[in-house]
Structure 1
C-alpha cells in the first residue's frame, strides 16, 4: 500500500489516427477556420455562454480536430494554457488556432483576450508550435486577430 504513495501520476499518450488526413479540411485563411469552427459550435448556446475551443492543425494546415477547452458564463471563461499544450502535443499538432465566442455578439477583443493570445503565442514558440490565429466567433460573423495585425 505504501509503495503506491510514491508513484508519480503521468499523462498517458497514444497516437491513433482514425481518418485519412487528405480528407480533412485545409485551413488557408481565417474564413476557412471560421467555417470549420462554426460547424463544430452549438448555435443554440453561442449567444448564451462563453466557450473556448482549440483548432489543431498539422504541418500542412489540415484539421486534426477541435478541442472544447472550457465553458464559462455570460462574460468569460477560464483558459489554462497548459491544457492547450497538452492537447497540441498529444495530437501531434504543429499549428493552432484559438477560438472563443462573445455571447454579447461583440466582435471586439477585450484586453484580456489580447493578453491571453500573446501569452499562448509566446509559449508556443518554445515548443515550435505556431499560433496562426485567434478567432472571436459569433453566429453572424467573426474577428480574426491575425487579419487585424494582433498576431
Structure 2
C-alpha cells in the first residue's frame, strides 16, 4: 500500500485590471518616479520608510506596484524572496525598486547600495532585470541608474 503524503496545493495567479494599452510605459526615471509618487501615501513620506517595487513587462509597461515593507524612521527590512516571488507571479520581465527617506536626504546609504547589488544579482539569476532603484522624498528623487550606480 502506498503511503499518503499530506502536502498543500500551491496556486499561482495574476489578474490584470487594465488593458495593456492603458498601462503606463516607463521610459525614464522621471516616469517611474511619477508612478511611484502617485502610489505613495504623502502623509507617511516624512514619517516612515517604505519599500515598493514596480513590476514591468518586456515593453516596460507597468504591471503593478507592490508595497513590500514598512519600517521605522531610519530603515526598512527587505526580503528579496517577497520581491521576486511577486515578480515571478506576475511574469514580470523587469522591476524598479523604490523606497523613501523620511529625512529627505536623497543620497543612498551603504545599506541601500548593498541591497541594490543583492537585488541585481538575484534578478540576473532569475532573468528579471532590475532597471533602477529610486529613493523618494517629499522634495524629489534619486535614481541609481541616472547617477551611474547600476
- Please, what TM-score do these two structures have when normalized by structure 1? 0.93
Task: Give the distance between the partners of 1:117 and 1:107, measured in 2 at CA.
Answer: 15
Task: Give the distance between the partners of 2:8 and 2:74, measured in 1 at CA.
Answer: 34
Q: Which blocks of at least 5 consecutive residues in structure 1 are unaligned?
A: none
Please state how far the C-alpha of 1:118 moved relative to its aligned partner: 0.3
Q: Deviations over 1:86-114 (max 9, x none)?
A: 00001111010000000000000000000
Task: Give the distance between the partners of 1:80 and 1:64, measured in 2 at CA.
Answer: 21
Would the aligned equivalents of 1:38 and 1:139 in 2 still touch at CA under 8 Å?
A: no
SS at match of 2:60: coil
Residue in 1 that maps onto 2:31: 32
Please state how far the C-alpha of 1:140 moved relative to its aligned partner: 1.5
- CA RMSD in angstroms comes to 1.5
Would the aligned equivalents of 2:16 and 2:63 in 1 still touch at CA under 8 Å?
A: no
SS at match of 1:99: strand
Moved over 3 A (4+): 8-11
Please state how far the C-alpha of 1:139 moved relative to its aligned partner: 1.8
Please state how far the C-alpha of 1:28 moved relative to its aligned partner: 0.4
Residue in 2 that maps onto 1:98: 97
SS at match of 2:21: helix
Name the CA shift for 1:50/1:10 in 2 (closer, same or farther; >3 Å). Answer: farther
Give matches, 1:39-54, under 5 Å. Answer: 39-54=38-53
Please state how far the C-alpha of 1:10 moved relative to its aligned partner: 5.5
Residue in 1 that maps onto 2:83: 84
Q: Which blocks of at least 5 consecutive residues in structure 2 are unaligned?
A: none
Task: Give the distance between the partners of 1:10 and 1:126, measured in 2 at CA.
Answer: 26
- Please, what TM-score do these two structures have when normalized by structure 2? 0.94
Name the CA shift for 1:10/1:73 in 2 (closer, same or farther; >3 Å). Answer: farther
Task: Give the distance between the partners of 2:9 and 2:130, measured in 1 at CA.
Answer: 26
Residue in 1 that maps onto 2:123: 124
Residue in 2 that maps onto 1:16: 15
Residue in 2 that maps onto 1:148: 147
